[in-house]
Structure 1
Amino acid sequence: MEITKADQIRALAADGLEVAEIARRLGIRYQHAYNVLTGGNRPASLSDVVVPVHVASKPFKSPLPVDTLIAGGFTLASRWVLSADGDLVLDMPVPKAVGVYSFVKDGFAIYVGVATVGIHKRLYTYGKPGGSQRTNIRLNGFLKEELSQSRSIDIYVATPPDLEWNGLPVHGAAGLELGLISKYMLPWNMRSAR
C-alpha cells in the first residue's frame, strides 16, 4: 500500500510529533509539513508525491520517557522558569559537579547535554548566552517560548563516574550523553536527528 506524503505528515502529527520532527523524519522542508497540517498553500508537486510506506528517510528513534531517565539514575534537580523581567532562571540551585542534564517536558526528554565544566556553570550559559554561543542562544529561545505558554520544563541530572577501558580513560558523562542522543529521539538535540 502506498500513501501520500501529506498522509504521512498527518499520521505523524496524530502520533504527537512536532512539525520540525515530522520534517526531519520525512526528509522534507518544515514549511511543507506546516502547510499540510494548517491547511496553508502547499505546493502540489510536493503534497502529491507518492512514496511507499516501508521507505523511511531515517531509522525510527523512540522518545525518552522521564521514567527511563529516573531508572537510569537521573534525579530532578530544578525547573526552568521565567523571572518577572522575562529572564530564564532556575527555581532551585543545581549541582556544580560534572554530569549530564536533560530538559523534560510533559514526561519526555526533549534535550540532553553534557556539562564538562559543571552542571551549574553549563546551565547558567543558557540563561545568559554569549553573542557567539549558537546552541545557548537557540535553546534560550526554545525555553523562553515554551515557558511563555505556561509549560514547565524540568531539569534532571546524573553524575556518572569516569571509567577505564583497557587502561585508557573514559569520560562517563560524555559517553552517557552520546549514548542517549544516539538511541532516543530528542527534538531539541540537533545530533539526535542525524
Structure 2
Amino acid sequence: MARAFILFLLLGAAMPAVAQDPNAVSQREIDQAIRKGAEFLKTAPSSGDWLHANCDELILLTMIHAGIPESNPKFDEYLRHCLQAPLEKTYKVACLAMALEELDASAYQMKIAQCAAFLLDNQAANGQWSYGKTVDVKNYPFVEKEKKTETGAKPGGAREFGSSVREHKKPSKSIVVPQTKHEGEAGDNSNSQYAALGLRACFDANIKLPAE
C-alpha cells in the first residue's frame, strides 16, 4: 500500500510536465519578437488619427522598454519631438510622463511636472478624464538640455520591468503641482486609465500631487 501511494505521488508530480501546452511561447521567442518590433519602430511612420496628429509619445515609451539606446538617431528624433510638442491630449501627455520618468526622472522632472499640471487640470468633476485641453504650464519652466549619449536602458535587449532593475533614482527634490480646476463633468474609462498611469509616473518622479 505504501509503495502504491508513493508511486501515485511520483506520477502526479510528473503529470504537469507531460501536460505542458505544446503551443507555449518560449522566452527566447518573446525576446526575438521584441527585437523585431524595435527594429520596425526605427523605420515605421508615426501615424495618427482624427484626434491625434501622431503617436510619438507611445513609440518613445515602447522604444525605452525595448532597450533602444538614447544615442540611436530615431530615438533622439522622437525624444526631441515629444519634448518640444505642446501638451494637448490626455493619451499623449500620460505616455510622455511615463517615458520621461522611465528615461531620467531627474533630468526631465520639470517637464514631468508640466504633464502633471495638464493631467490634474483636465480631470472631470466626477474624477474621470476625457481627451484633454491645453492648460497653462508656465509655472513649470522646462529648458531642454544638450543631447545625451547614454540612457538607463540596457543596450541590445528588452528592458525588464520592476523597481529592482531600475537604473535611475527618484529625484531628491520635490515639485508641488496643485489642481486649479476641473474640465467638464465626466470623462471615459480609457482616458482615465492612461491619466492614472501618467500621474503614477509623475508621483514616481517626486511630483507632489494633491491628496484628494
Q: Which protein has greater RCO, CA pairs closer than 8 Å, 6+ apart?
A: 2
Larger Rg: 2
Q: TM-score, normalised by structure 1?
A: 0.22
Q: TM-score, normalised by structure 2?
A: 0.21
